[in-house]
C-alpha cells in the first residue's frame, strides 16, 4: 500500500487532518486500531473553542454542529456556596464556546471522509514505523501489511505507537501527574443551569456540563486509584448535590438515569519537538492537558491546522520551511494551554488537605478572578481560545 500521508489514529486530530488534506488535493490513508462503532461512541470532551467551530464550519463539516451544538457566552465559578458568572463573550471580544460532544465531531468527520471517498481503515492497528530518517517511511500494521508514504502523521493519542517510534533520547518529555482523577457521567436529566458550572468545594471539585436539553454531563474529583465499583449511583448523586449546593439553597441539581460513566486520570504532558524526521506528532500523541481547561480536543485541532498548511506547502511547492517550523509553532500554543489548564486545575481542585496555606491561596485567587475584570478577562480569553496568530 502507498499514500502521500499515512495518518495513524481516527480521533479528532487524524480525521480532521485527513479532511483538510483532502480539500487541498493531498492523498492520505487513515489507520484506526478500533472499530467505527467504538470511536463514534467514545465519550470524552464537549467544549469547542470558537476557532475549532470556525474551522469545522469553513470546511463544510459544521452543519449538525450548528443545529445541535449549544453556544455559551458565559460560565459560572462556584465557591463558598456562591456562584459568580464570568461573561466570556463580553470579556473576550465577542467570542463564544460551543458545547457539542467530541464523539459527534468524530461522527461528522467520518461521514465526510467516507462521502468524499477517502481511505479510512478501522481495525487497522499500526505496530511500528520505520525509516523515519529517509524520505520514504513505512508503517507496519498488525495484519502484516505495510503502508509506504512520504510523511507519517502520528495522531494516535497518548497510548499510541507514534511517539515511541522516535529513537530514545530524541524527544524531551515534560510531565506532571496530579493526585486526583475525574469521574465523569452522562445522565438522562435536563441541565440544571444554562451554563457550565465549575464548583470548588472542601470535598473536592465538581463540574456541571451538558450535551443536550435532555442530557447532563457531570464530573467529580475522585482519588486517582478510585474504581467505578466504589461509586454507586447514590454516592455519585449525593456527592454532586453536596459539592454543587449553594448557600441560599436555591440551586436544584436534576438527577436522572446514569447511562455512561468513566474515570479519567489527570495529567499534564508534553513531548518536544513534535517531530522526528518524517514523523509529525499531533494532538494527544504529543501532549496531554488536564480536562479542567476543556482544551485537549481544541489543541488537537490547532495542531492539525498548522500541519495541514505545512504539508500543503511541501506537496505543492516542495517547500519544507513550514514543516521545519511546525513543532515550534505548535509548542507556543501548547505551553500557553498547558499553563492555563494547570492554572484552572490548581485553582479549582481540592489539593493537599494538610496544607491550609494552599487552601487560603486558592480562595484568594478565586475571589480575585471574580472581582477583577483583568483577571476574569485572562480566564475568558484563554477559555474561548486564543487566535492561532495571537499565541
Ligand atoms: P484520540 O482521540 O485519543 O485519538 C487517537 C486515536 O488513535 C484513537 O481512536 C485510537 O484508537 C487510535 N490509535 C491508538 N493507537 C493506534 C495504533 N497503534 N494504530 C492505529 N490507531 C491507533 N478533554 C476535554 O477537554 N474534556 C474532557 O472531558 C476529556 N475527557 C477525556 C477522557 C478520556 C478518558 C481521555 C483519554 C481524554 C479526555 N479528554 C478530554 C481529552 C480529549 O478527548 C483528547 O485531547 C482528544 O481526544 C485528542 O484527540 P486525538 O485525536 O489527539 O487523540
Ligand atoms: C464536558 O462537557 O465534557 C467538559 C466541559 C468542560 C470541561 C471538561 C469537560 O472543562
Helix intervals (H) in the chain? 12-23, 36-41, 50-58, 63-68, 88-91, 102-115, 162-165, 233-244, 296-317, 321-348, 356-371, 373-384
pLDDT, averaged across the chain? 97
Least confident piece of the model among 86-90, 305-309, 351-355: 351-355
Q: Are 325 and 309 in contact (CB under 8 A)?
A: no
Q: Whose CA is nearest to atom 2 of ligand 2?
A: 46
Asked whether residue 56 carries a pLDDT value surpassing 80, the answer given is yes
* Any atom of ligand 2 within 6 Å of the Cβ of 209: yes
Compute the radius of gyration of the chain from its Cα atoms.
21
**Average pLDDT, stretch 83-93?**
97
Asked whether residue 175 carries a pLDDT value surpassing 80, the answer given is yes
Ligand 1: distance of its center to the CA of 104 in Å? 14
Q: Are 72 and 380 in contact (CB under 8 A)?
A: no
* Any atom of ligand 1 within 6 Å of the Cβ of 284: yes
Give the per-residue pLDDT at 133. 94
* Any atom of ligand 1 within 6 Å of the Cβ of 160: yes
Helix intervals (H) in 69-182? 88-91, 102-115, 162-165
Give the per-residue pLDDT at 141. 98
Report the SS3 class of residue 371: helix
pTM of the model: 0.97
Q: Residues of the chain with pLDDT > 70: what percent?
A: 99
Asked whether residue 224 carries a pLDDT value surpassing 70, the answer given is yes
Q: Kindly give the number of the ligand 1 atom that is closest to the alpha carbon of 299.
A: 45
Q: Whose CA is nearest to atom 7 of ligand 2?
A: 294
Asked whether residue 391 carries a pLDDT value surpassing 80, the answer given is no
Give the span between the Cα atoms of 106 and 9, in whole angstroms. 12
Asked whether residue 84 carries a pLDDT value surpassing 90, the answer given is yes
Provide the edge-to-edge strand list for the sheet that holds 146-148: 126-130, 138-141, 146-148
**Average pLDDT, stretch 32-50?**
96
**Average pLDDT, stretch 199-218?**
97
Q: Are 11 and 106 in contact (CB under 8 A)?
A: yes
Q: Whose CA is nearest to atom 8 of ligand 2?
A: 294
**Average pLDDT, stretch 292-299?**
97
In this structure, what C-alpha cell is assigned to residue 47? 467544549
Ligand 1: distance of its center to the CA of 56 in Å? 18
Ligand 2: distance of its center to the CA of 80 in Å? 22
* Any atom of ligand 1 within 6 Å of the Cβ of 109: no
- pLDDT band of 386, cuts 50, 70, 90: confident
Q: Are 190 and 276 in contact (CB under 8 A)?
A: no
- Apex 249 CA angle, 352 and 181, nearest 5: 30
DSSP string covering 246-298: -TTS-------EEEEEEEEEEEEEEEESSEETTEEE-GGGTEE--GGG--HHH
Smallest-distance ligand from the CA of 198: 2
* Any atom of ligand 2 within 6 Å of the Cβ of 48: no
Ligand 2: distance of its center to the CA of 70 in Å? 13
Q: Whose CA is nearest to atom 45 of ligand 1?
A: 296
Each residue's pLDDT tens digit, 261-277:
999 999 999 999 999 99
Q: Whose CA is nearest to atom 32 of ligand 1?
A: 44
Give the per-residue pLDDT at 354. 81
Asked whether residue 189 carries a pLDDT value surpassing 90, the answer given is yes
Give the per-residue pLDDT at 390. 62
Asked whether residue 207 carries a pLDDT value surpassing 80, the answer given is yes
Ligand 2: distance of its center to the CA of 139 in Å? 34
Ligand 1: distance of its center to the CA of 9 in Å? 9
Do β-strands 279-281 and 275-276 pair in parallel, antiparallel, or remain unpaired? antiparallel
Give the per-residue pLDDT at 388. 62
Asked whether residue 21 carries a pLDDT value surpassing 90, the answer given is yes
Give the per-residue pLDDT at 387. 77
- In a 13 Å sphere around the CA of 57, the CA atoms on its Cβ side amount to 12
* Any atom of ligand 1 within 6 Å of the Cβ of 297: yes
Give the per-residue pLDDT at 19. 98
167 DSSP 8-state letter: P
Q: Which long-range contacts (CB under 8 A, 24 or more apart) does 63-66 make?
A: 64/104, 64/108, 65/98, 65/100, 65/104, 65/105, 65/108
Return all residues near 131 (Cβ < 8 A) that are at least 6 apart: 137, 138
Ligand 1: distance of its center to the CA of 269 in Å? 14
Burial label for 342, CB within 10 Å (0-12, 13-18, 19+), is: middle
Asked whether residue 389 carries a pLDDT value surpassing 80, the answer given is no
**Average pLDDT, stretch 243-252?**
97
Give the per-residue pLDDT at 382. 97
Asked whether residue 200 carries a pLDDT value surpassing 80, the answer given is yes
Ligand 2: distance of its center to the CA of 305 in Å? 22
Q: Residues of the chain with pLDDT > 90: what percent?
A: 97
Q: Which of 368, 345, 339, 172 is nearest to 271 (CA)?
A: 172
Give the per-residue pLDDT at 352. 83
Amino acid at each position: 500500500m502507498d499514500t502521500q500521508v499515512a495518518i495513524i489514529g481516527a480521533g479528532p486530530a487524524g480525521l480532521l487532518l485527513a479532511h483538510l488534506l483532502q480539500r487541498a488535493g493531498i492523498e492520505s490513508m487513515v489507520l484506526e486500531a478500533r472499530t467505527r462503532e467504538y470511536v463514534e461512541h467514545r465519550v470524552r470532551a464537549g467544549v469547542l473553542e470558537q476557532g475549532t467551530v470556525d474551522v469545522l464550519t469553513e470546511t463544510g463539516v459544521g452543519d449538525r454542529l450548528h443545529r445541535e451544538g449549544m453556544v455559551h457566552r458565559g460560565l459560572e465559578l462556584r465557591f463558598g456556596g456562591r456562584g459568580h458568572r464570568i461573561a466570556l463573550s463580553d470579556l473576550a471580544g465577542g467570542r463564544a464556546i460551543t458545547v457539542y460532544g467530541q464523539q459527534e465531531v468524530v461522527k461528522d468527520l467520518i461521514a465526510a471522509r467516507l462521502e468524499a471517498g477517502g481511505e479510512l481503515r478501522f481495525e487497522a492497528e499500526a505496530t511500528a514505523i520505520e525509516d523515519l530518517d529517509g524520505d520514504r517511511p513505512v508503517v507496519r500494521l498488525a495484519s502484516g501489511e505495510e503502508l509506504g508514504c512520504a510523511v507519517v502523521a502520528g495522531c494516535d493519542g497518548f497510548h499510541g505507537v507514534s511517539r515511541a517510534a522516535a529513537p530514545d533520547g530524541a524527544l524531551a518529555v515534560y510531565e506532571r501527574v496530579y493526585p486526583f482523577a475525574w469521574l465523569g457521567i452522562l445522565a438522562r436529566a435536563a441541565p440544571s443551569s444554562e451554563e457550565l458550572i465549575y464548583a470548588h468545594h472542601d470535598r473536592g471539585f465538581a463540574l456541571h456540563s451538558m450535551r443536550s436539553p435532555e442530557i447532563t454531563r457531570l464530573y467529580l474529583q475522585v482519588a486517582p486509584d478510585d474504581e467505578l465499583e466504589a461509586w454507586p449511583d447514590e454516592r455519585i448523586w449525593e456527592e454532586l448535590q453536596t459539592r454543587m449546593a449553594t448557600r441560599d439553597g436555591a440551586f436544584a441539581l436534576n438527577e436522572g438515569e446514569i447511562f455512561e460513566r468513566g474515570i479519567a486520570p489527570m495529567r499534564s504532558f508534553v513531548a518536544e519537538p513534535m517531530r522526528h524526521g518524517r514523523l509529525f506528532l499531533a494532538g494527544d500523541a504529543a501532549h496531554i492537558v488536564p480536562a479542567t481547561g476543556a482544551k485537549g480536543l481544541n489543541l488537537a485541532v490547532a495542531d492539525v491546522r498548522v500541519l495541514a498548511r505545512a504539508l500543503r506547502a511541501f506537496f505543492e511547492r516542495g517547500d519544507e520551511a513550514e514543516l521545519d517550523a511546525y513543532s515550534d509553532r505548535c509548542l507556543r500554543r501548547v505551553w500557553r494551554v498547558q499553563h492555563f489548564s494547570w492554572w484552572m486545575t490548581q485553582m479549582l481542585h481540592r489539593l493537599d488537605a494538610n496544607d491550609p496555606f494552599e487552601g487560603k491561596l486558592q480562595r484568594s485567587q478565586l475571589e480575585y478572578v471574580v472581582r477583577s475584570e483583568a483577571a476574569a478577562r485572562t480566564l475568558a480569553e484563554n477559555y474561548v481560545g486564543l487566535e492561532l496568530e495571537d499565541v
